[in-house]
Amino acid sequence: MKTRFSMPRMFATAGAALLAVAALPALALEPFSATYQANYMGLRAQANMQLAQESGNRWKYGLEVAGAGARLEQNTVFEANGEQWRPVSSSDSQRGESGIAAMLMKNRELNTTYDWNSGEARFSGDVRDGQSGPVTLQAGDLDGMLMNLVLVRDVQAGKSPLRYRLVEDGRAKRQVFERQGTEQVTVGGQTMEATKVVRTDGRRQIVAWIVDDLPVPARLLQRRDGKDHIDMRLQSVN
């Protein structure tokens, strides 16, 4: 019997939050590729984020984290109409490829379809019992990956409060981030000032450092029971 060894999910299982209220202008979407250095429970890994336009107002946003014999991939396809960014489909997978991760990691894949015509989200793949949906969609709903982009957009636009509704894993969850001032971060050897935002949910906490003019967080930190679980620090973005 395999011991469950689970890679973390950015702005998802551990939480995250996004979409706002004030009618401030939305920042323009532009394709990018970003590289992070990740530390997962003391193990080093490399992470890559990419945003690419598929066609018209449809975009694909992806994250891949690889290291210590494990691989995590998350992708979302979404539509952007002005300030309204809404998910169309998403996929989330984790697998052990070598070493101890191949022996201990529980491979998992979850796919979600957001049908805005019917107003429902449905889930397939390795779905937990009773969580295949459907979940009724509401205007402003997000998935875990898209929350990442929207959080950056909203913080840079000065929106408040940072309250969102996350739809994934067969359920909908309310999410709230709080601003906690500014701190210095280093990106590619350059020191920058970042707005620090925090979400706390019981024993889990997510902290993001947002720098003006950067399309992704300069740093993402997930903590569990007061201990660092995964720490991602931006190295470069193009």
pLDDT tens digits, one per residue of 194-203: 999 999 888 8
Q: Is the pLDDT of residue 26 over 60?
A: no
Average pLDDT over residues 108-137: 88
Beta carbons of 59 and 80 less than 8 angstroms apart: yes
Rounded CA-CA distance 72/109 in Å is: 10
Which whole-number Å values give the CA distances from 85 to 33, 43, 77, 139, in the listed order? 20, 34, 10, 10
Is position 169 within any domain? yes
Is position 232 within any domain? no
In this predicted structure, what is the pLDDT of residue 102? Answer: 61
The DSSP H or E segment spanning 145 is: helix 144-156
Is position 132 within any domain? yes
Is position 210 within any domain? no
Beta carbons of 197 and 205 less than 8 angstroms apart: no
Which whole-number Å values give the CA distances from 114 to 4, 89, 103, 154, in the listed order? 29, 6, 34, 22
Is position 78 within any domain? yes
In this predicted structure, what is the pLDDT of residue 96? Answer: 72
In this predicted structure, what is the pLDDT of residue 83? Answer: 83
Average pLDDT over residues 87-99: 84
pLDDT tens digits, one per residue of 51-90: 999 988 999 999 998 876 777 899 999 999 988 999 999 9
Domain tally for the chain? 1
Q: Which residues, in sequence order, are CB contacts of 118 under 8 Å at separation 6+?
A: none
Is position 149 within any domain? yes
Rounded CA-CA distance 166/168 in Å is: 6
In this predicted structure, what is the pLDDT of residue 45? Answer: 86
Lowest-confidence region among 3-12, 45-54, 197-206? 3-12
Could you tell me the residue range of the domain that residue 75 belongs to?
Answer: 32-177
Is position 183 within any domain? no
- For residue 102, which phi and psi values (nearest 5 degrees)? -65, -30
Give Cα 172 to chain centroid, integer Å. Answer: 15
pLDDT tens digits, one per residue of 136-178: 999 999 998 999 899 999 999 999 899 999 998 888 999 999 9
